[in-house]
Chains A and B, each alone.
Chain A
Amino acid sequence: MNITWYIVLSSLLFATGVLGILLRRSPMVILLCLELMLNAGNLALVAFSRMVGNEQGQVFAVIVMVIAACEVVVGLGLIVAIFRRRLPLNVDDLRELRG
């Protein structure tokens, strides 16, 4: 398979993640869509690493996984904190910081 196929698939997955963030209002699903976008970036990194024939791109993908894990942990902690304070789990209702 050409590398082009992987890159086009990666941009399709990224666009799907963006669509989810634009459409959904539950913070949980928005976090999942962030995961989709990070994974699309990972796929592109690994595909380009294969194209060049160098493993360093795969190290980047592993580091991106670490960042994604951190983001999930902090995001889920925020969701639990929101839930504990009996606030609505809806990003349109959580508008206190909006200017």
Chain B
Amino acid sequence: MEAVVFFVAAIGALGGAIGVIAMRNPFYSVLALIIHLFSLAALFLLLTAAFVAAAQVVVYAGAVMVLYVFVVAYVGGGGESAWEPIPGQRLLAPLLAIALFVELSIAVLGSALKALETHGPDVNEGFGDPAAIGRLLLEKFLLPFEASSILLLLAAVGAIVLAARRREVEA
């Protein structure tokens, strides 16, 4: 049962990722990314990371993707030219990606981590639920937690500054 869920979610995640880079229209790319994010949330649930899965669906697939859809609707999906700035780019890029995948796989499989071949130790009921993550965030990782809230505020201010209308500059 676990294997079936894993392979269905893995195919969904990979299919969504390929859809993102294959679709001509950015709007369809965003939709493919939403499929990818939901599949990843299922994988997180398999890894007993309930809070991360919930945050993935609510924050990512919900809020961030809505932002993307708004910007795609505002800017509009223009077609890309088939012009290649570097000769043979369409041939070389997949080769480089395959080489990177092989290299990463060799690095992981060649590492002497014995626990990679297991499915991890048995954990108790509350592993990765919101209570456990919340306790970690507010006790051990309090400083990174507060720093990330400041970072979010800065990003919001920066986005407003970037996207605001400035008539006198453009004139």
Contacts and interface: CB of A to CB of B under 8 A. Distances in A.
A13 to B, nearest CB: 5
A94 interface: no
Contacts of B71: 28, 76, 79-80
Interface string B89-123: 11001101110110011001100010111111101
Grouping DSSP codes into helix (H, G, I), strand (E, B) and loop, the A interface class, with mixed when no group exceeds half, is helix
A72 B89 contact: no
B8 interface: no
B97 A26 contact: no
Nearest to A12: B101
B33 A32 contact: yes
Interface in B1-42: 2-3, 6, 10, 13-14, 17-18, 20-21, 26, 29-30, 33, 36-37, 40
Given A24-B80, A29-B26, A36 B36 contact: yes
Interface string A14-44: 1111111011111011001101100100110
Interface in B31-86: 33, 36-37, 40, 43-44, 46-49, 51-52, 55-56, 59-60, 63-64, 67-68, 71-72, 74-75, 78, 80-81, 83, 85
Contacts of A72: 64, 67-68
B7 to A, nearest CB: 9
Given A11-B104, A15-B104, A63 B148 contact: yes
Contacts, number: 231
Interface residues of B, number: 87
Contact of A73 (B18, B101, B155): B155
Contact of B93 (A4, A11, A23, A46): A23
Contacts of A16: 14, 17-18, 21, 97
B116 A15 contact: no
A23 to B, nearest CB: 5
Interface of A: 1-9, 11-20, 22-26, 28-29, 32-33, 35-36, 39, 42-43, 46-47, 49-53, 55-56, 58-59, 61-63, 65-74, 76-81, 83-85, 89-90, 92
Given A5-B10, A77-B161, A92-B85, 16 more contacts: A1-B2, A4-B109, A6-B47, A19-B93, A23-B21, A26-B26, A36-B36, A43-B43, A51-B116, A53-B123, A61-B52, A72-B64, A72-B67, A73-B156, A80-B163, A81-B162
